[in-house]
Structure 1
Amino acid sequence: MSKPIVVGVDGSTSAEHAVRWAAKQAAGRHVPLRLVHACMVIEAYTPVTLPVSVSEALAQQGREWLREAALLAKEAAPEVDLSTHLRSGPAAQRLIEESESAGLVVLGSRGLGGFTGLVIGSVAVALSTHGHCPIVVVRGEEDRAEKPVVVGVDGSATSEAAVAFAFEEASRLGVPLVALHAWSDLSLYMKFSLPPYGLTWTEAQDEQRRILDEGLAGWREKYRDVEVRLVVTADRPAHSLLEAARDAQLVVVGSRGRGGLKGMLLGSTSQALLHHAPCAVAVIRPHS
């Protein structure tokens, strides 16, 4: 990846974690880091003349947040090449625009605008749904640098893109890759239990593992340095991936998997991970 990494800045603790994570990523990939803050003013009229306009006050605050974020980024990765950008308008819209020329957009799980009780921000959901490049939502504060990358595999187009991203990350980070395929589809089991297969549940599970292994053969050949661990579970994908995330530094999923309903731009599995994963989550769209 030669395109810059963009990180959304809003002064929140969550955004600070995202800045540190993104700075290390940018330094490791040898790409620029763009710190972006977007502020929007809803015009209001008053007979009282204010000494400083609301828009200028918000801009000043934005510049201060960007300055603080730059210090955090340099602290996390002194060698990183960074720039700060103050933009006007809705944060989600501006970051979606940024994603058109970015290699990665990084966000905190919930910004200053989040409501108490919400564990994922609206900007993160918007970017995961409409972004033009991979989106990473940084969750948790624990240092997980030595832990593996986990990727959800289900054979869909977005899953294939997620696998490509996950292998590249595992190779660059020098950590194992856990390729997880979860299946709990009774109709799929019934298919395997009928001729010409005639398999038991355990045999069907083994067959799923074989299919997963064969599906990753090309990637394993390309990334021979990556230790690959195959995991097949007869469970819901979201539950299995959340369990695997407990011992991971990054979970990679497609924006919508094989089971997604037509018209849904963000699948239930990716939404569950964005809301509940204990580590960073990368959401990959088909064109990412």
Structure 2
Amino acid sequence: MDLPIVVGVDGSEPSLRAVDWAADEAAVRGVPIRLVYASLWERYEGVSLAEEFGKPSEQVMAEDVVATAERRARRRQADMKISTDVLPEEPEYALVRESRTASAVVLGSRGRSGVAEALLGSVSVTVAGHAHCPVVVLRGSHDNQARSGVRGRIAVGVGDDSESAAAVRFAVDEARLRGVPLDAVRAWRCPAHESIEHGQLSGEAARQHAERAAEVLEAALRDVPADVEVRRRTVEGPARQVLPAVSAEADLLVVGARRREGHYGLQLGRVAHAVLHHAACTVAVVPQRA
């Protein structure tokens, strides 16, 4: 069975852009999409409105939200298989549960109002930190097309083998599906106690760390198919600064997030957290099981 791409919708323009992106992605992958609106409207509406008007006003609004999103997806991809659902629960919990049976979860980065913006930002971070599948967050006002992006390039941040294998596979698949090159980036830093030594020794230490970064990068890319064009880059600096800078040249930036069994706190990591907040393009956070 083809797992759907799940889109969290709330009626905002960013969430409708997420529908556009997901529709293009689903068309490329040959999978359906599922449009989900989640809110605790039942807690606030009560039963009196239901008795008086037939349906709570928030439910009417929610049904309109998913109907609008479905029409948007149909305009984008007329032959797309689409399902919709309205779930009376916290959106972050609903979307994390949905991620168990999804190929990806796609979210906009902002909500319907100034107050909702902070909430949706929190939802995006929470879902990215707990989901069981890749989470794609559309950043800012940048291109919303999965199939034919403006920059024609995918970028992936390569961490340690245990943290980035799934992210690299996802990025390679995206590059193949779109027929674009892949930028594989490994950030490295000279430890402070080495960088303050005598200049010549410091330069030797830097060379060794750069070589080690290149080796890690090469190991991470050893199974990349020959039909995918890969540009290997090692960049000096902290990854949480290097990768947002790289994102300015990409349509999609892919990073990994390590999942630790039995650990129930946020499992996002500083790098993925920084990228979600500062990237200049759409971001995919791909979980890697420890």
What TM-score do the two structures reach when normalised by structure 2? 0.84
1:29 aligns with 2:29: yes
Runs ≥4 in structure 1, deviation > 4 angstroms? 43-50, 116-120, 187-190
Aligned equivalents of 1:268, 1:39: Cα separation in 2: 29
Structure 1 gaps of 5+ residues are none
Rounded to whole Å, the distance in 2 between the matches of 1:49 and 1:68 is: 23
> Which whole-Å deviations, capped at 9, do the CAs of 1:198-255 have from their partners, x for residues lacking one?
9442353234224422431222xxx211111111111010111111100101111112
Task: Look up the match of 1:77.
Answer: 77
* 1:188–1:120 Cα change, 3 Å: farther
* Partners of 1:249 and 1:280 within 8 A in 2: yes
Letter of the structure 2 residue corresponding to residue 284 of structure 1:
V
The answer to whether the 8 Å contact 1:108/1:139 transfers is: yes
Cα deviation for residue 128 of structure 1 reads: 0.7
Show the counterpart of 2:175: 170
Residue of structure 2 in register with 1:14 after alignment: 14
| CA distance in structure 2 between the partners assigned to 1:186 and 1:249 by the alignment | 32
Matches within 5 A, 1:38-77: 38-40=38-40, 41-43=42-44, 51-52=52-53, 56-77=56-77
Identity score, percent: 36
Q: Check the 8 A contact 2:187/2:213 in 1, yes or no.
A: no
**CA–CA distance in structure 1, aligned partners of residues 237 and 29 of structure 2:** 35
Q: Write the letter of the residue equivalent to 1:230.
A: R
Q: Corresponding residue for 1:225?
A: 227
Q: Distance in 2 between matches of 1:3 and 1:47?
A: 39
2:285 to 275, 283, 288: 283
Q: Give the SS at the match of 2:288.
A: coil
Structure 2 distance, partners of 1:211, 1:49, is 60
Instruction: Please point out which of 151, 154, 157 is paired with 1:149.
Output: 154
Contact 1:253 1:283 in 2 (8 A): yes
The answer for the alignment partner of 2:184 in structure 1 is 179
Q: Gaps (5+ residues) in structure 2? A: 144-148
The amino acid across from 2:163 in the alignment is: T
Richer in helix (by share): 2
Q: CA shift at 1:3, angstroms? A: 0.8
Superposed CA RMSD in Å reads 3.0
**Pair 1:125–1:76, CA change in 2 (3 A):** same
Q: Distance in 2 between matches of 1:44 and 1:82?
A: 29
TM-score normalised by L of structure 1: 0.85
Once the two structures are TM-superposed, the CA of residue 43 in structure 1 deviates from its matched residue by 4.4
Deviation at 1:50, TM superposition (A): 7.9
